Chains A and B, each alone.
Chain A
């Protein structure tokens, strides 16, 4: 008769502990299942709503997902070497779009620096001022650029200014929040030192705050520049000039070669900017360590 395997006799408090652990594990797996099922349910529900309201069904759409770019590329291929001249034709439009983004990023960053200094608890004593400025920045940030851009387009007319204003407003809000977080995390010793020598508020910001925060400000602004190039293309699409407007026109005319030329220009620019800003930011972080 084989001896029955006796369970390891554990002290009572460890048994309680084991039991508790098992309970927690059970609860966790229930939570995990619940999360998975609710996510699946959301996807299923959303897909149902989408297929009800969509003009074409999902399977038919997927079967011709890349028909349009293939047609356009075929068009461009038939053009031969002449395609490159189209690319160069749209270069000034691209520069205009990039300039809109650069100008509004500079303007927005300057405004954001001023606002973020007024919204940081270690520079301003009044809670009221801080709250007012923070809520203003929230307001600026919450609207998609297109909302402000469309309103300004209606009021001012079709040109670059609505895009500049809309992107500047959004950039001010978005960067202002990040900047004020950076300022609130600085080392306060230089600030105290300048205060002890009787430095004014402007001098304290200039000599104690800015040298510490400028590298991070610059890296955030670079990131924003990339986002703003995308945004200014989109705003061109609704009538604010630049390469977006050219793209809209050639899409309406179904000029495949020109569509591919503009898309190629845009994609190259964005990827190029992406690489540049990544390297610059890594350089900035490492040189200021």
Chain B
């Protein structure tokens, strides 16, 4: 026998009901998706994301990313001073190599200087030209020459000027590979991100990139410069003193902190300031917020007026954002830690007050009654009847806000209060120290992770959650 749905009216009705509800559900889902899609499209148009994506400059981004993990040496040669090759770390005036690095060789006969790149290629600077030889993926050597050209100036006078040109390509500029850009007075050669040559009427400059954070441990001028981590450990363990007045360990420590290229000491102090802002701000907020929360709780304070006023006060303290508090306190305290501490404290008194007063109201009244029956005073009732119940919530919320405030403190710092946020902003605004930007970002990341781990460990130890 074949069962048909039509033979069972009850089942049929149930089936139809499910069908209808499913259809409603289905169209509801589709409706939500269509609304979301409409919103996304309109936002795309409103924020003009399409034009921003077109304006986006990938060269700038790749330069930024390259600079976060690589360093470069500048080799500068002036056509008017053919004896002098200036080789400087990151082009700094203070960081000029006295002994040329291994990858640089100077021919004593011709006076030409050769830069060897890690891809096997070579760039040689002569008195009147730069030669690019042995380059992978190109068949011919390129020669960038400097020559005299006649030019008519604005008074109608003829004079000869120096101009760079690519030898052999004078009449066929279009045949040059795309990584050679030849403009009126300059030639810019960038075969890959790791090599760069600029030839101008006055000089030739080569940038040679290498992966890694150089001079991270010790400064360029330091007597320990160029020592690797393993060598540093070996020095620390060896008995022979480098500086007779200091032990090796204290020498290494002071030299590390005095590193000016990376600014370890400055950044450590800034990090300490940020942590202090977050820690003291949270601690003060929780100490002030807890008594206020007791006053704002229904089962403690009988006066409705007081309670409502406190509740609104909490709302305002919380609603005035940490940004606005920091603007207000920046005027009172000036740039410094107090601004950050007070901004965090004021915002979090509101948050703690609200959370804790709710927790107090939700506390079990039986314990308090039990203590009351033994003839305890009101203070003792609260101390032994309520505090043990809300302590776990208090601790876990304090720790949670400590984590969140470490991030807030970084942000307030960037607004002007100081600390690591300001250092980050400063490093980014220099426009070329992106390895420092990466270093500070890494430092913030590690600190936030350490505080997160510590606070969750503390939470587990104290309240087992």
Residue ranges of A at the interface with B (Cβ–Cβ < 8 Å): 39, 42-43, 46-47, 49-51, 53-56, 58, 61-62, 64-69, 99-100, 103, 106-107, 138-139, 142-147, 150-151, 154-157, 159-161, 164, 230, 233-234, 237-238, 244, 247, 251, 263, 266-268, 270-271, 274
Interface residues of B, dominant DSSP: helix
By a CB distance below 8 angstroms, the chain B residues around A145 are 407, 411
Given that A42-B280, A49-B276, A161-B47 are known contacts, is A147 also in contact with B333, CB under 8 Å in the complex? no
> Which residue of chain B lies nearest to A206 when distances are taken between CB atoms in the complex?
B29
> Which residue of chain A lies nearest to B417 when distances are taken between CB atoms in the complex?
A54
Choose from B46, B318, B332, B414 the contact partner of A67 (Cβ within 8 Å).
Answer: B332
Query: Interface segment, B75-83, B141-149, B231-239, B440-448?
Result: B440-448
Residue ranges of B at the interface with A (Cβ–Cβ < 8 Å): 36, 39-40, 43, 46-49, 52, 55-57, 60-61, 64, 272-273, 276, 279-280, 283-284, 315-316, 318-324, 327-329, 331-339, 341-342, 407-408, 410-411, 414-415, 418, 421, 424-425, 428, 437, 441, 444-445, 448-449, 452
Choose from B321, B322, B428 the contact partner of A151 (Cβ within 8 Å).
Answer: B428
Q: What's the Cα separation between A232 and B220 when bound, in Å?
A: 41
Choose from B321, B418, B421 the contact partner of A146 (Cβ within 8 Å).
Answer: B421
Of B272, B323, B428, chain A has the most CB atoms within 10 Å of the CB of: B323
Q: Is the CB of A49 within 8 A of B273?
A: yes
By a CB distance below 8 angstroms, the chain B residues around A147 are 410, 424, 441, 444
Choose from B322, B323, B327, B335 the contact partner of A55 (Cβ within 8 Å).
Answer: B335
> Which residue of chain A lies nearest to B273 when distances are taken between CB atoms in the complex?
A53
By a CB distance below 8 angstroms, the chain A residues around B60 are 155
By a CB distance below 8 angstroms, the chain B residues around A230 are 321-323
Give the Cβ gap from B51 to chain A, nearest Cβ, in Å: 10
By a CB distance below 8 angstroms, the chain A residues around B337 are 46, 49-50, 53-54
Sampled A-B contacts (12; CB under 8 Å) = A43-B280, A49-B337, A55-B335, A65-B342, A68-B327, A99-B46, A103-B47, A144-B411, A151-B64, A266-B321, A267-B316, A267-B321
Q: Is the CB of A233 within 8 A of B321?
A: yes
Closest 4 CB pairs of A and B: A54-B336, A55-B334, A50-B337, A68-B331
Q: Is the CB of A46 within 8 A of B328?
A: no
Q: What's the Cα separation between A271 and B414 when bound, in Å?
A: 25
By a CB distance below 8 angstroms, the chain B residues around A51 are 338
